[in-house]
Structure 1
Amino acid sequence: MDKKKRRLISRTIILLLLGAALVFALYTNFTKDKNESLRKGSEAPNFVLTDMEGKEHKLSDYKGKGVFLNFWGTYCKPCEYEMPYMENQYKNFKDQGVEILAVNVGESDYAVNNFITKHDLTFPVMIDKGREVENAYRVDILPVSFLVDKEGKVIDIITGALTEESIQKHMERIKP
């Protein structure tokens, strides 16, 4: 009986310690996300990515311009829906100091190039192969667009597919 009691106490202590460790891990994970999340008014995290034509794009090089930073995937139907509208508005705004940077979330060159060709996209499209940029911007749902003003500050974060009219309005907002 004494041996059974000790075993029960030992198991109970181990379970309590495991439970406490789990609660601690969950707590630190959730509070960390809140503290480090990107908010309106935050400085947009800088990055360097290479587009599909081999040209390097560094976000800080676009200071003085508005940047419509879009995260997307070829498999994402809402992303595909808004791409032609982004292309149309890019043609309207590229000479007015507004740039579109489209960041694919780690797919193959082949899939992305096929997508670009299919939709006849002319704005810079890059692949975040290591997903560092996606993580820096805390992207968890696609599509998501970050409006970055000429000072490099995030003025808005828009989740979900956008209409052509809404893309135009957002581009007006970031026009220098």
Structure 2
Amino acid sequence: MSITAVPLRPISKGSLSRLWIGVAAVALAAGGLAWAGQRGVADTPASFLASNAGEAGVVTTDSGLQYKVIEAGTGTSPSTADVALVGYKGALLDGTTFDENPQTAMPIDGVVPGFSEGLQLMKKGAKFRFWIPPQLGYGDQAAGPIPAGSVLVFDVTLHDFKSKAEIMQMQRQGGATPPPAP
């Protein structure tokens, strides 16, 4: 058996220094890219809402609810004495969907305050996006898949609404109430 010897050349002067400078440059570049990737990502609900308030078409109410009209509706708006037929998708700021329903009846006064306020701004056929701050949502309480202190993002379509009194009368007259027509 024969062994081939390969002579190793000595490292030239300054090569080790250049290697460490290269490692430092790569580390700085990685840190810079990580920082740039985080720009625009809100650290807190308050910082997100402050940034979002400046976006085109976003309206902030006195209570802090933010909304954007995607499609305007027609007619009148519901009140707290009404039951609305809505389609919605609820998500967190990171895009995680926590609830979705294409058509469901909801008493206006039976949902979180921000959702109730937003529904009362809509007209039949309208499509809105709501950004509900924690104080108008679930606050410091976790609710199922929704962490405490979360901003809730809803895409909502108001199909129709009827008064609770009208629904009660329909139930007395004919038993089950058919859902309002979309």
Identify the TM-score tier after normalising by the shorter chain.
0.3 to 0.5
Structure with more helix by fraction: 1
User: Which structure has the higher relative contact order (CA within 8 Å, separation 6+)?
Assistant: 1
TM-score by length of 2: 0.32
Normalised by the length of structure 1, the TM-score is: 0.33
Structure ranking higher in strand proportion:
2
